[in-house]
Amino acid sequence: MNPLVDIDWRGLWTERDSKRKAPDDADYWDLRAQEFGAYQEGDNASGYSDSFIEFLELLPGETVLDMGCGNGGLAIPLAKAGHPVMAADFSPKMLEMLTQHCKDAGVQGIDVRQFSWTDNWEDSGIASKSVDVAVASRSIMVRDLWDAFERLGRVARRKAAATLATDFGPRSSHVIGEEKDGMPFLPDYIYGLNILFKMGYHPELRYISSLKREASGAFRSIKWAFISWEV
């Protein structure tokens, strides 16, 4: 075995992910929808959405799929910048809040769709090469990361992008290399970069500073890995 090329990063992700907390379902996010606005306020204060859109380097008028859009923290500023957006999420309450936020802000140009990572996307109206750019902002909490990347690349005509955890994760927080469930801990973005290389892409990596809300209500500074790749 050549460790530089033969590591099964897809299998390693699936193995590790199967040992940690299961991804939260739509019912969970329906319950969180009302309070999620507070997190968005923190993100806006730290410039997360602005940095994400800057790093996308969109061309004028390009169409965007925002997969796992939540209540519109990214979709709304994208629409304000003149980009037609398909905003998708599996939580109907999140989509209700997004729709209300659009009305409150007088924002148009967002096509709201309800579907998940594992649904048949074509049945949900998102066909192959139907948008210019497909993104997932902190929304890839899936058992099969390869499949998620494949789906984004399949629907995009030019580029795909995602943000993944660096030194922490939505379902885990450990020291790099620390033994966890019989495996050394690596942050999500390390798996993501290597999976994309194995898929034949040449991903670009940047970092976005953001704020994470603690149980106390205070915010602390964290970093997300912004990964983009041409399709």
Q: What digits encode the pLDDT tens for the residues 141-196? A: 899 999 999 999 999 999 999 999 887 544 455 555 566 566 677 889 999 999 99
Least confident of 9-23, 58-72, 76-90: 9-23
For 188-217, write each residue's pLDDT tens digit.
Answer: 999 999 999 999 999 999 999 887 666 566
- Three-state SS annotation for 83-110: CCEEEEECCHHHHHHHHHHHHHHCCCCE
Run of H or E including 121: none
When comparing pLDDT for 22 and 94, which is higher? 94
Of residues 66 and 138, the one with the higher pLDDT is 66
Q: Compute the distance between CA of residue 83 and CA of residue 63 in angstroms, rounded to an integer.
A: 6
Neighbouring C-beta atoms of residue 222, cutoff 10 Å:
16
Burial classification of residue 67, based on how many CB atoms lie within 10 Å of its CB (0-12 exposed, 13-18 middle, 19 or more buried): buried
